């Protein structure tokens, strides 16, 4: 192993690819089958320089803060900008009107070059072209992380028309950064702090957080129409989770973390220290710090960032639990029992006497690797609309069951314990989840699915759903639509290929009249509440998962006897409660002055003043659609709860 790492560090300094451009394209076409060492050798994985966390982390020792091995998968179409198939960097500053020259792709050196033809490496940190290439490289890697079979196992779509996410590294002056669907962009601002300029595009945590919004918006675009604070909070959670997981996935950083831990992986303490260090070093970017908390549902306000910390904390408990479990392997060489999450460090006296099986680096690797599957793969099971923490927790548990039905280490039990501790699950949920049951049940359907046609055609998927309205809780007269249809090829432990999943999402809008003074200027208007479900099939048509957000309307025709009648009654009850909660949250948001129209700047980018909830006219002026504004918290604003006084209400650019 040592030999190999020496060789690879030599490769870093001089590109030793001896493949012709034609051969490279031929290899690229088969790159999924090639090992990464070979891809590096053949120039199919190119190294770029980025900051690990933020230029302000380890400011005194900038060398250790630079990652010169951010490996980006090569594509035939790399171009100036950088521009690649899914991203385009556009360095336009809306405040100054300046358009910075782009980094230039140089085919012969297979690298991006600066304006004077210089290399873009650690000697070019102060150039805007370094910023452009660095933010692009981080995003390429983040996209690869999500598309990996250990995550979603499929290409990630954007939530807008077009295939390139525009990235603006120096969008203007301000403590801000955001993802914006309307302008199809991620925008990064810069600001002054103690005499130095802080560029948010250089902070990998911020870049990854914003990218988390873009990914979630891509895979569940209807979430942004939810008025449930938990859906907005889930978006924030995804941002923070992306920042944490991408940090831990970074091989070089993991090695550094393990070194910081002094060669002894002291279970939870190490992660805790790491979290603290990062929190202190980048005041105001408290991704990891905020992850280490004990917050439970009910402890926090409905402000989305506050609320998100409950779920971020829960998943950090899971990560810590995995770390403890694997560290026990290392010390005792056995895998007994489940990890008790969040119980803090235990003993450690025996560490000196026993032979280690896993090094701290391996423990980090194993925990981060499993976490990617445990936390990201369940996203495919989520309902298409209005996700809650409870939904996600259920999806995480179900996904664990599907991936690991026998689960000798009882990860399932560990997950349930964490969600119960955070009050995301109730005791009743736990009783239900722990009932002895079969892995799969036959879903009661009038017409079974023909997977060959269903998986290949939205029209066929629609027919299947329409034939089964009564069984799938879709009101008979309501027009519904196929929100998405795709297949995913995921991998489980030991990189084993899991059965192909076919994911079908359907949704419809239930009309809701806004009537009463609590709706302010929207009194008398009509809006809609989204309802729908997600079905996940395997190749044989077995339903692996069905998650549903019902409406308040009954089926509208006679329903078959027995279970189906019961199912409809429960659904209508749940839908009626959803409708009441929907109206209540809307009234609350209107009362808090959070609802308004987005004002766009003359330059076409999103305005600096954007309400939390944007009201769009839908057709004529009597119909309104409400949607969440995309956003980010930066700096100390995060520590405050949402202002009740009206202060800053319109100032925060979300
Ligand atoms: Zn955010």
Determine which of 329-333, 481-485, 629-633 has the lowest per-residue pLDDT on average.
Answer: 329-333
pLDDT band at 631 (very low <50, low <70, confident <90, very high): low
Cα 17 to ligand 1 centre (Å): 40
Residue carrying the six token digits 């521009």: 83
Query: Minimal CA–CA distance to 635: which of 622, 620, 651?
Result: 651
Quickly count: other Cβ atoms within 10 Å of residue 361's Cβ: 18
pLDDT in tens, 573-624: 999 999 999 999 999 989 988 888 765 544 444 444 567 788 888 777 788 8
Cα 491 to ligand 1 centre (Å): 29
Cα 74 to ligand 1 centre (Å): 29
Cα 633 to ligand 1 centre (Å): 6
Q: By the 8 A CB rule, do 544 and 538 touch?
A: yes
Contacts of 419 (CB under 8 A, 6+ apart): 314, 393, 396, 397, 425, 429
Cα 2 to ligand 1 centre (Å): 41
Residue carrying the six token digits 């380890």: 58
Q: Percent of the chain beyond pLDDT 70?
A: 80
Instruction: Provide the 3-class DSSP secondary structure of residue 483.
Output: strand
Q: In this predicted structure, what is the pLDDT of residue 647?
A: 27
Q: By the 8 A CB rule, do 263 and 423 touch?
A: no
DSSP state letter for 615: E
- Alpha-carbon gap, residue 164 to 140, rounded angstroms: 12
HEC string for 167-216 = EECCCCECCCEEEECCCCEEEECEEEECCEEEEHHHCHHHHHHHHHHHHH
Most confident of 60-64, 289-293, 392-396, 637-641: 392-396
DSSP 557-573: SPPPSTHHHHHHHHHHH
Q: Percent of the chain beyond pLDDT 90?
A: 54
Give the distance between the most distant pair of CA atoms in the chain. 77
Cα 107 to ligand 1 centre (Å): 37
Q: Is the pLDDT assigned to residue 649 strictly greater than 60?
A: no
Cα 91 to ligand 1 centre (Å): 22
CA separation, residue 59 to residues 53, 104, 136, 449 (Å): 11, 29, 22, 58
Contacts of 627 (CB under 8 A, 6+ apart): 224, 225, 613, 614, 616
Q: By the 8 A CB rule, do 298 and 227 touch?
A: no
Query: Minimal CA–CA distance to 70: which of 169, 141, 123, 6?
Result: 141
Q: By the 8 A CB rule, do 310 and 424 touch?
A: yes
Q: Compute the average pLDDT of residues 6-15.
A: 44
Angle, CA 90 vertex, CA 88 and CA 96 arms, to 5°? 165
HEC string for 269-321 = HHHHHHHHHHHHHCCCCCHHHHHCCCCCCCCCCCCHHHHHHHHHHHHHHHHHH
pLDDT in tens, 452-509: 999 999 999 999 999 999 999 999 999 999 999 999 999 999 889 999 999 999 999 9
Contacts of 347 (CB under 8 A, 6+ apart): none
Q: In this predicted structure, what is the pLDDT of residue 341?
A: 34
Cα 235 to ligand 1 centre (Å): 7
Cα 56 to ligand 1 centre (Å): 21
Query: Minimal CA–CA distance to 525: which of 539, 546, 507, 511?
Result: 511
Cα 392 to ligand 1 centre (Å): 18
pLDDT band at 364 (very low <50, low <70, confident <90, very high): confident
Cα 451 to ligand 1 centre (Å): 38
Q: What is the pTM of this model?
A: 0.88
Cα 213 to ligand 1 centre (Å): 7
Q: In this predicted structure, what is the pLDDT of residue 611?
A: 74
Cα 314 to ligand 1 centre (Å): 18
Residue 484, CA atoms < 13 Å, CB-side half-sphere: 24
Q: In this predicted structure, what is the pLDDT of residue 58?
A: 54
Query: Minimal CA–CA distance to 476: which of 545, 534, 560, 381?
Result: 560
Instruction: List 89's β-bridge partners, or say none.
Output: 167
- Alpha-carbon gap, residue 211 to 202, rounded angstroms: 14
pLDDT in tens, 159-215: 999 999 999 999 999 878 889 888 999 999 998 877 888 888 998 888 998 999 999
Q: By the 8 A CB rule, do 175 and 156 touch?
A: no
Cα 265 to ligand 1 centre (Å): 31
Q: In this predicted structure, what is the pLDDT of residue 620?
A: 72
pLDDT in tens, 530-560: 999 999 999 999 999 999 999 999 999 998 8
Q: By the 8 A CB rule, do 219 and 574 touch?
A: no
Quickly count: other Cβ atoms within 10 Å of residue 118's Cβ: 12
Q: By the 8 A CB rule, do 510 and 528 touch?
A: yes
Q: In this predicted structure, what is the pLDDT of residue 271?
A: 52
pLDDT in tens, 129-168: 999 999 999 999 999 999 999 999 999 999 999 999 999 9
């Amino acid at each position: 192993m040592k030999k190999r790492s020496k060789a690879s560090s030599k490769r870093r300094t001089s590109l030793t690819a001896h493949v012709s451009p034609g051969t490279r394209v031929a290899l690229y076409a088969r790159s999924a089958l090639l090992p990464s060492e070979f891809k590096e050798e053949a120039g199919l994985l190119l190294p770029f320089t980025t900051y690990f966390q933020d230029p302000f982390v380890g400011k005194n020792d900038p060398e250790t803060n630079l990652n010169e091995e951010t490996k980006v998968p090569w594509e035939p179409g790399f171009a100036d900008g950088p521009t690649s198939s899914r991203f385009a960097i556009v360095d336009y500053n809306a405040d100054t009107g300046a358009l910075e020259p782009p980094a230039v792709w140089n085919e012969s050196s297979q690298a991006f070059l600066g304006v004077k033809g210089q290399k873009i490496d650690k000697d070019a940190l102060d150039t805007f072209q370094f910023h452009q290439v660095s933010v692009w490289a981080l995003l390429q890697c983040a996209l690869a992380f999500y598309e990996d079979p250990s995550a979603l196992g499929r290409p990630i779509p954007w939530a807008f028309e077009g295939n390139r996410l525009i990235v603006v590294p120096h969008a203007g002056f301000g403590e801000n950064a955001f993802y914006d669907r309307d302008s199809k962009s991620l925008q990064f601002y810069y600001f002054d702090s103690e005499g130095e300029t802080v560029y948010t595009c250089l902070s990998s945590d911020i870049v990854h957080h914003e990218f988390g919004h873009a990914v979630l918006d891509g895979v569940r675009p209807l979430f942004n129409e939810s008025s449930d604070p938990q859906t907005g909070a889930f978006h924030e959670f995804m941002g923070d989770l992306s920042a944490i997981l991408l940090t831990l996935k970074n091989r070089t950083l993991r090695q550094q973390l393990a070194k910081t831990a002094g060669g002894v992986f002291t279970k939870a303490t190490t992660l805790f220290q790491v979290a603290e260090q990062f929190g202190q070093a980048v005041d105001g970017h408290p991704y990891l710090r905020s992850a280490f908390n004990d917050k439970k549902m009910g402890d926090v306000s409905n402000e989305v960032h506050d609320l998100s910390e409950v779920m971020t904390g829960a998943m950090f408990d899971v990560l810590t639990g995995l770390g403890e479990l694997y560290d026990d392997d290392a010390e005792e060489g056995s895998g007994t029992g489940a990890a008790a999450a969040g119980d803090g460090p235990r003993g450690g006296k025996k560490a000196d006497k026993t032979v280690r099986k896993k090094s701290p680096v391996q423990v980090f690797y194993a925990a981060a690797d499993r976490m990617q599957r445990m936390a990201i793969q369940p996203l495919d099971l989520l309902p298409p609309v209005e996700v809650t923490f409870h939904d996600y927790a259920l999806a995480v548990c179900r996904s664990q069951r599907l991936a690991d039905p026998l689960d000798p280490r009882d990860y399932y039990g560990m997950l349930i314990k964490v969600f119960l501790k955070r009050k995301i699950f109730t005791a009743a949920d736990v009783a239900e989840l722990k009932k002895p049951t079969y892995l799969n049940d036959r879903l009661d359907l009038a017409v079974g699915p023909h997977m060959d046609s269903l998986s290949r055609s939205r029209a066929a998927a629609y027919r299947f759903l329409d034939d089964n309205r009564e069984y799938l809780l879709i009101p008979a007269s309501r027009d519904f639509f196929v929100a998405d249809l795709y297949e995913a090829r995921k991998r489980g432990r030991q990189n084993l290929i899991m059965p192909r999943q076919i994911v079908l999402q359907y949704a419809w809008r239930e009309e809701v009249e806004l009537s009463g003074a609590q709706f302010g200027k929207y009194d008398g208007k009509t809006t809609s509440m989204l309802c729908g479900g997600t079905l996940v099939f395997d190749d044989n048509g077995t339903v692996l998962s069905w998650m549903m957000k019902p409406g308040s309307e009954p089926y509208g025709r006679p329903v078959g006897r027995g279970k189906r009648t019961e199912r409809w009654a429960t659904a209508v009850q749940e839908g009626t409660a959803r409708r009441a909660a929907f109206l209540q949250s809307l009234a609350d948001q209107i009362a808090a002055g959070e609802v308004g129209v987005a004002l766009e700047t003359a330059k076409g980018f999103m305005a600096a003043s954007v309400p939390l909830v944007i009201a769009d006219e839908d057709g004529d002026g009597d119909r309104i659609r409400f949607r969440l504004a995309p956003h980010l918290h930066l700096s100390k604003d995060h520590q405050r709860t949402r202002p009740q006084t009206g202060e800053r209400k319109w100032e925060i650019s979300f």
